[in-house]
A and B are shown apart, each in its own frame.
Chain A
């Protein structure tokens, strides 16, 4: 599975949009982009995933560039409860590929009042 690169930390004002970038320049055609977040002292929580089209759910939006080499997770109106570490992962969602999942250290997002 392709490796991802994320900034180690970001800040965002409460109520504003938080845009978290992820670079995955070695992504291959059948690999999906997944985003998770981990609030302090809890297990990671699934947010969203996508292949090439932009995706939106109740938690966030995922924008994937046309060449699929990078993506952005958007939290449209960040709240203090969105303070967490955000992980971007790229993988083929097939049984047998879990072994190669590379989590990295993610982006620590601080939402400030």
Chain B
């Protein structure tokens, strides 16, 4: 089975801290994604990446950056954490064959609280 592993299940950080959320997938998937999930708002795409060192902004990239130095790892960075970034963060990956994207595999999520 494809595994998408997120480094932390729960995280508490202080306002203004720089926060790194790590995600690793073990099935050589080209595509990787970062979402946040908030009650009443559903899943919203922050950033995604089609390949190493490539990144694309999603719907809500403000306050976030990403890094993909290796194919299996996609990091989400909160440059200066704020309380409105308290959320569940979900990483996902998917396989691409030609131009066809297959279904996503998600990690278990990181529940981040910024105090």
A interface vs B, CB < 8 Å?
Answer: 34, 36, 41-46, 49, 93-95, 97-99, 101, 103-106
- Asked if B48 is at the interface (CB within 8 A of a chain A CB), the reply is yes
Residue from A41, A94, A103 in contact with B43 in the complex, judged by beta carbons closer than 8 Å: A103
With known contacts A44-B43, A103-B42, A36–B104 Cβ distance under 8 A? yes
Determine whether the beta carbon of B105 is less than 8 Å from that of A105: no
Binding site secondary structure of chain A: loop
Say yes or no: B59 contacts A94, CB within 8 Å: no
Chain A residues with CB under 8 A of B96? 95
CB neighbours (8 Å) of B58 from chain A are 98-99
- Closest-CB distance, B11 to chain A (whole angstroms): 15
A43 adjacent to B90 (CB under 8 Å): yes
Q: Tell me the bound Cα distance from A104 to B92 in angstroms.
A: 17
Chain B 77-115, CB-CB to A under 8 Å as 1, else 0, gives 000000000000011100010011111111111000000
Q: In the complex, what residues of A have CB within 8 A of residue B59's CB?
A: 99
B4 within 8 A of A: yes
Contact A95 B4 (CB under 8 A): no
Q: A36-B104, A49-B103, A93-B102 are in contact. Are A43 and B48 (CB under 8 A)?
A: no
Q: Could you pull out 19 A-B pairs where Cβ atoms are within 8 angstroms?
A: A36-B103, A41-B108, A41-B109, A43-B106, A44-B43, A44-B104, A45-B106, A46-B104, A46-B105, A93-B101, A94-B99, A97-B101, A98-B31, A98-B33, A98-B48, A98-B58, A99-B58, A103-B42, A105-B42
Q: Apart from A43-B91, A98-B101, A105-B40, what 7 extra A-B contacts exist at CB < 8 Å?
A: A36-B103, A43-B92, A44-B90, A95-B31, A95-B101, A98-B56, A103-B43
